[in-house]
Amino acid sequence: MDRLIQANGQPHYGIFSAAPGLVNYRDFDFRSPMGRRLGALAKWRRFHQFQYFGLISEQLIGGCALANLSLAGIGFVYLFHPPSGRMIERQFKLPLSMGTRFSQQPDDGVCELRSGRNLLRLENRTDSREKRLLVELDDGTRIDAGFSEAEPAFQPMCINTPTAVNGWVYAQKVAGLRCTGQVRSSLGDFDLAAIEAFAHHDWSAGYMRPETHWNWACLSGQVAGQRVGLNLSCGVNETSFTENCYWLDGELIKVDTVRFAFDRQQPLQPWHIDSHDGQVALRFEARGLHQERTNLGLLASNFKQIFGQFNGVLRPPGRTEIRVDGLWGFVEDQYVKW
């Protein structure tokens, strides 16, 4: 599929075997809930896009996100050192997304944020199926990390769903891939291949609900010689289809809807995550978190991304169940108005 939006102005919907070449949102026949055709200004204002790159290992946990919310460009990066419990984190907010650029090609192009001597950059390459994260901060922190979906072959989750009465969201996610590269920071210097790091990645864009909330869970690691990745959500990307899935050595296995049971006021208490079809039964125990609260009137966010360890089982149909024992990963609780 070359373009997500068809010639008639309507999106392709479903779960796709490969990413569209272009998320051509300007070609969308965007209308108000009462059916009035909306113009270029409304398309710009309501279209939102973000990209996330995560690192997971027993020695280092990291996350970096970029978001274009039309009225603001937002970025964050953090590193957490599990053995010591130390953490470094930075946040950036740029009015009208000045100092940012975002490609609308999920598998190609650059998304980046520049603020002073700070750079957050995510680069995707079609030819090699590589994803790369580059972070350079004014305190000397540097992250240069990447992975490839080509060898061994890896099937990403590519999904487009209707959203509310007049929107849609395209999401593309992977987890459970070996990560290479270098990290230099006040927490220490790390060779990501040497510490057996894994990576996960999220590329999402579309006309999302103006006020929304979601939970998300992700893990990556190795179990009995098998690479395992997991991506689950509740509250978003689940109209007609869901993004819920896990990967075994790059093979995507679909999962039904999931339930997140946790205490929102005490997010560091254990979480329980179970799927309706019984394939997923996990307990998550927190080890730390990155959180942000923003209330700018038209834009607001209450965001908690919590990192810790998962225990439980995955039950792929017709196969031996997989025991998850202390695998590192993330859960998320997010409210957004945008």
Over residues 322-333, the pLDDT tens digits come to 999 999 999 999
In a domain? residue 7: no
The answer to the question of residue 42 being in a domain is yes
Does the pLDDT of residue 68 top 90, yes or no? yes
Q: What share of the chain is helix, strand, coil (3-state, %, to 5)?
A: 5, 60, 35
pLDDT for 278 beyond 90: yes
Calculate the average pLDDT of the chain: 97
Nearest C-alpha neighbor of 90 from the set 112, 120, 59? 120
Residue 67's CB is within 10 A of a number of other CB atoms, namely 24
For the segment 241-276, what is each residue's pLDDT rounded down to a tens digit?
999 999 999 999 999 999 999 999 999 999 999 999
CB neighbours of residue 174 within 10 Å? 26
Residue 298's pLDDT band, with cuts at 50, 70 and 90, is confident
Residue 140 covered by a domain: yes
Q: Which of 103, 93, 13, 3 is nearest to 49 (CA)?
A: 103
Cα-only R_g, the chain: 19
Structure confidence by residue, pLDDT tens digits, 11-37: 999 999 999 999 999 999 999 999 999
Strands 300-314, 86-95: parallel, antiparallel or unpaired by DSSP? unpaired
Confidence of residue 152 (pLDDT cuts 50, 70, 90): confident
Placement of tokens 């990963």 in the chain: 329
Give 97's contacts (C-beta < 8 A, 6+ positions apart).
68, 69, 70, 71, 72, 73
State yes or no: pLDDT of 79 exceeds 90: yes
pLDDT (average), residues 170-194? 98
Q: What is the C-alpha separation between 205 and 172, in angstroms, rounded?
A: 9
Query: Is residue 296 predicted with pLDDT exceeding 90?
Result: no
Nearest CA to 49 out of 119, 117, 122, 114 is that of 122
Look at residue 54 and tell me if it is in a domain.
yes
Mean pLDDT to the nearest integer, 220-227 = 95
Tell me what percent of the residues of the chain surpass a pLDDT of 70.
100
Residue 5 lies inside a defined structural domain of this protein: no
Contact call for residues 231 and 173 (beta carbons, < 8 A):
yes
In a domain, 304, yes or no: yes
Instruction: Report the domain count for the chain.
Output: 1
Q: What is the reported pLDDT for 270?
A: 98
Q: Is the pLDDT of residue 135 over 90?
A: yes
Q: Any idea what the CATH number is for the domain that residue 294 is in?
A: 2.40.370.10
Q: How confident is the model at residue 151 (pLDDT cuts 50, 70, 90)?
A: confident
Q: pLDDT digits over 43-62, tens only?
A: 999 999 999 999 999 999 99
Q: Domain of 282?
A: 14-337
Say if 4 falls within a structural domain.
no
Spell out the SS3 assignment of 48-111: EEEEEEEEECCCCEEEEEEEECCCEEEEEEEEEECCCCEEEEEEEEEECCCCEEECCCCCCEEE
What is the DSSP annotation of 112-167?
Answer: EEEETTEEEEEEEETTTTEEEEEEE-TTS-EEEEEEESTTTT---EEEEEEETTTE
Interatomic CA distance for residues 8 and 1, integer angstroms? 15
In the predicted structure, residue 181 carries a pLDDT above the cut 90: yes
pLDDT band at 66 (very low <50, low <70, confident <90, very high): very high
**Please, are residues 307 and 329 in contact by the beta-carbon 8 Å criterion?**
yes
Residue that wins the pLDDT comparison between 52 and 151: 52
| Average pLDDT rounded to a whole number, residues 115-140 | 97
Could you give the percent of the chain with pLDDT greater than 90? 97
Q: Is residue 200 part of a domain?
A: yes
